[in-house]
Structure 1
Amino acid sequence: MRIQLVEGDITAQEVDAIVNAANSSLLGGGGVDGAIHRGGGPAILAECRELRASRYPAGLPAGEAVATTAGALPARWVIHTVGPVYDARTDLSDTLRSCYTRSVAVADEVGATTVAFPLISSGAFGWPLEDAIRQALTALRGAETTVEEARLVLFGSETFAAAERVFAA
């Protein structure tokens, strides 16, 4: 799988699947989650409500992933994954990496060959930036998949520059 770093807006990526850094409710929220729900429109929320009523009545567990339509976004699917909230006293790195590997596995299940990822858990969930980048790259580089291209879409020039440093190391 080819890994590409992109500075920009994940909702504008023309790929087969866009990964959503969702909250466990699957019903929208702030940050990336809110932007994806707003950009994709009501079709995404409708499918998320169906998932909550059937497969995930208690919400999507951290580290897991599930696909819905992408609605009005320039993708076929949104793959929702819930990152862990950073806690300096507890190592949740495996759960964070699982967000990426489970999302890639779901991409394989739906037939996606290009996937755009946000930097999961690095915003409101408090994961330190450089380690979040390192965890993402470690997971993506180690994933066994038929996905051809994974884009790590980074919001802002400082985040993009940090990702370039970590990528090159």
Structure 2
Amino acid sequence: MTESLDPIRLACWRSYIESSQLLLTQLEDELRGSNELSFADYHVLVLLSEVPGQRLRMGELASRLIFSPSRLTYQISSMQRRGLVSRESCPEDRRGSEAVLTAAGLLALHEAAPHHLRSVRAHLMDDLDDAEVACLTRVFDRLGRKLRDLRDASSAPSKS
């Protein structure tokens, strides 16, 4: 049987889960209210805006978003219908496809970013001092590396 968490760690876990869900819900509600974008829409637009050519292979985008291929297909199809992205064949091999940021998608991002950043500041960053920001950054960077390594190891072909 798995050992349960001590009361301090259990309180930490529950506090993290509840506050992170509340934060993400608040940010999503405000994005939808001000710009009719979901949190996933916004994340896709940010990622595409930051890469050369404003395009990414679907597999790479799914990996960066931590989405399954089917979830990404659904997300991109929804955004494509609204003109925020297009889906094009990869210029290098024509077998895969890429999500490409459209002018309308870039405009939507530019319109949403100031509102979203105000929300992030109001609901998280402005309540933290510099030491807390540094601590959270260290903790989540370390956890992110560990979880990405675990994910990469579990998806790597086995060497039999």
- TM interval, short-chain normalised: under 0.3
Higher RCO (CA < 8 A, seq sep 6+): 1
* TM-score (norm: length of structure 2): 0.27
Instruction: Give the structure with the larger helix fraction.
Output: 2
